[in-house]
Structure 1
Amino acid sequence: MTEETTLQRIRERFPAAVISEFRGQHRVGADPATIHDLLEFLKDEIGLKLLVDITCVDYLYYSGAKDRFGLVYLLANPETSERITVRTFVNDPDPEVPSATDLWEGANWLEREVWDMFGIRFAGHPDLRRILLPESFEAHPLRKDYPLQGLGERHHLPIVTRDMG
């Protein structure tokens, strides 16, 4: 399937999707309410079966940004090397999107990382808990409004030592 065919099929199935190009790679923007359907379509009907990454961008201090958080899904077809970036936007006070764990098992840890660092909830996630920080940690340190020096939590984390002998 050619890239133009892929884009045409996306336009037909998701007319509200915004398709753009950045540095030679296509991006598809979708509403959070339809993001799961779009991801499922791209995986099952287009063949983008590899979930490369899920990450997030905090647009808090970007002038002209309409939304606070941009959620980014990187998908690829391992057989044809076709790649596409899928984006959706969510806002405070309760940023949430549907989980993609039913589509890709690997989404489990990726969504947990985004939850841990940015506080984006993934509805339907089977085990949404911290993956990098202790459960007692209350903030989300990759948010732009998180203080550079932290909130004092470094001084309250238990120090774990291992016997090297």
Structure 2
Amino acid sequence: MTNEYVLEAITREFPESVLSHSEPYGMLTMEIKKEDIKKVIHYLRDSSLEFNFLTDICGIHYPEIKKKEIGVVYHLHNMMTNVRIRLKAFMTRENMEVDSMTELFAGANWMERETYDFFGIKFKGHPDLRPILNMEDLGYHPMLKEYRLEDGTRTDKNDSMFGR
């Protein structure tokens, strides 16, 4: 199975869902409409493509791109042919919600909880969406790029020591 074959099968089945595609480092990467991501992943799992292993779900934050500020990245693996693909779904900060994959993959449960915990992305239909690693009363999502990297009030550090 090749990347071209997988891309052709998905664009044939969901012609309006694939917004863009590329192959960084040889891995097929597709941007999918947020509303269609669950349908596409369901198709990838249950069709002859047999992407039956959900390797990872994670969040991304691009604060400089307002229409695609928040994203969810899914890595799927066909264990029989050893083919991996990456799917991305983007959204705005005002609408940080995407369908849960727990109905399709039991392992998505904790991955979605971690993504919610660190990025604040809500997964519709998740059975137990609450923080998994951070304290419940933390009050913010630490992986969002909202804070400076260094504390400007520190005097015991000199940036030149760190190659800056």
**Runs of 4+ residues over 6 Å off in structure 1:** none
RMSD after superposition: 1.7
> Which deviates more, 16-25 or 47-56?
16-25
Q: C-alpha offsets along residues 45-98 of structure 1, whole Å, 9 cap, x if unaligned?
A: 12010100001110013xx56311121000001111110000000111230000
Shift, 1:147, TM fit: 5.1
The alignment's TM-score, normalised by the length of structure 1, stands at: 0.83
Which runs of structure 2 are paired with 1:1-165 in the superposition (5 Å)? 1-16=1-16, 17=18, 18-45=20-47, 46-61=49-64, 66-146=67-147, 148=149
Mapped partners of 1:30, 1:73: distance in 2: 11
Letter in 1 for 2:27: Q
Which stretch shows the higher mean deviation, 11-20 or 133-142?
11-20
Relative to structure 1, is the Cα distance of residues 126 and 146 closer, same or farther in structure 2, using a 3 angstrom cutoff? farther
Q: Please give the per-residue CA displacement for 1:107-130, whole angstroms capped at 9, x wherever unaligned.
A: 000000000000000000000000
Mark the runs of 5 or more structure 1 residues left unpaired by the alignment.
151-165
Is the CA contact (8 Å cut-off) linking 1:140 and 1:146 kept in structure 2?
no
Normalised to the residue count of structure 2, the TM-score between the two structures is: 0.84
Structure 2: gaps (5+ residues): 152-164
For 2:35, what is the secondary structure of its paired residue? coil
Evaluate the alpha carbon distance shift between residue 104 and residue 133 of structure 1 in structure 2; reply closer, same or farther with a 3 A threshold. Answer: same
- d(CA) in 2 for partners of 1:82, 1:141: 33
**Alpha-carbon separation, structure 2, partners of 1:22 and 1:40:** 24
Residues 147 and 125 (structure 1 numbering): CA distance in 2 closer, same or farther, change over 3 Å? farther
Looking at structure 1, the residues matched to 6 and 114 of structure 2 have their Cα atoms a distance apart, in angstroms, of 30
| Equivalent AA in structure 1 for residue 15 of structure 2 | P
Q: Percent identity?
A: 39
User: Using the alignment, how far apart are the partners of 1:43 and 1:130 within structure 2?
Assistant: 28
**Which one has the bigger helix percentage?**
2
Paired with 1:146 and 1:38, the residues of 2 have a C-alpha distance of: 35
Q: Is the 8 A contact 2:66 2:92 kept in 1?
A: no
Total equivalences in the alignment: 148
